[in-house]
A and B are shown apart, each in its own frame.
Chain A
Amino acid sequence: MDTLNLEVVTPSGLIFDGKAVEVTLPGEEGEFGVLPHHASLTTLLKAGVVDIEKEDKSVESIVVNWGVVQVDEKKVVVLVDGAVAIRGESESDIAKALDAAKTLLSDVSDSNLAIASVSAKIESAAHKLV
């Protein structure tokens, strides 16, 4: 199966580095998906969720508050300011990550609508994990 290399970098380090089948990103002008061999592009991201479909079909969600993404045929580099990965071993871990993600979002976005739509998304992502 074709894959692309994905790197998610924050000021405090690399939080995701690996292969992915598909990446969905919250672009400034709307959500878009990236598959392997996507044409080169660089664009801004707004606060939202980055969904990563990995080789084993599992989906990992990372909540970001700002970002720039650089896509070329083989790799995708996402530079973000603050990010929280929705993952964890137990239910309480996931709940903690959810809370952290929500505070991250409420800090950047002042529109309740945006927060609500993203919150709904991350909650559904979290439910899938449980």
Chain B
Amino acid sequence: MANLKDIKRQIGSVSNTQKTTRAMKLVSTAKLRRAEELARRSRLFAEKTNAMIQDIAFQIECTKMGGIDNRCFTKIETPKMVDIIFVTADKGLCGGFNIQTLKAVNKMMKEFKEDKVKVRLRGIGKKGVEFYKYNEVELFDAVIDLSSAPDMGRAAEFITTSINDFKDGKTDAVYIIHNGYKNMITQELHVDRVLPVDTDSFDCSTNTNSSLLEIEAEDSEKMLDSLLTKYVEYNMYYALIDSVAAEHSARMQAMDAATNNAKEMVKTLNVKYNKARQEAITTELIEIISGVESMK
């Protein structure tokens, strides 16, 4: 009979877990919708900033001999020191979401090490920070509660160190690695080089209105610099909100799978319970019958 009770307890425990996972799934669905909306709205800023940087860069390219000499635009062929900023979630229970990011970071670090490039790791998100702490890898700095509540001000503050070090020549490139949102069921890993800015993607030939642009020459460099800083800050912020959206979609999926698994498990446990109950009844009947038989 103890067996029956055990199974019953197991069923109870599994269906309780199922309740939790279902609730978590619903919460993530709601949060995902909000995060997605935020990401969608903020993309407009990126488009406009991009267009403006292109315009100004193009303008300088045309008016100045030798093109742009800003450090932010020149790709360094043999970097000596790079900054890697990774974004992970603060919480777990979201499938392989964090692991994917960390794997990419490790791979990149290994590649840089082979090329004898020094790497400075800067982390955002509790899970990633804990991972490196456990593996005794040194982090240059770490922020814990930023990835669950992205904020433009704090994101800017965080990346300013990287921007300044880059401008001062202490580092030769800045990378941001984060797991981004693709759609409700897929996440996409992004490895972006934010500094120096990739000018290859700028298409100057299609520029139609730049000839109309009127900027005072000495101003344009300063403006470009200011705009670039904002652009990089924005990229950091966008990585954060994109990561939040992806985290929720990953969690939603993981929790959906967990709920289904729990459902399946309750089903098998129920069958097992019924079998055990039937068995117990049969045994009892046999006992009674054989008792009666022996009294004849």
Interface residues of A (CB under 8 A from B): 7, 9-14, 39-44, 66, 68, 70, 72, 77, 79, 81-82, 107
Contacts and interface: CB of A to CB of B under 8 A. Distances in A.
B34 to A, nearest CB: 12
A82 B152 contact: yes
Given A9-B48, A70-B52, A40 B214 contact: yes
Interface in B233-260: 234, 237-238
A14 B41 contact: yes
A79 B52 contact: yes
B226 A44 contact: yes
- SS class, residues of chain A in contact with chain B: strand
B295 interface: no
A42 B60 CA distance: 13
Given A42-B55, A79-B52, A12 B41 contact: yes
Nearest to B37: A13
B42 A44 contact: no
B56 interface: yes
B223 A68 contact: yes
Contacts of A44: 219, 222-223, 226
Given A12-B38, A81-B152, A72 B212 contact: yes
B286 interface: no
B216 to A, nearest CB: 8
Interface in B40-66: 41-42, 44-45, 48-49, 52, 55-56
Contacts of B234: 11
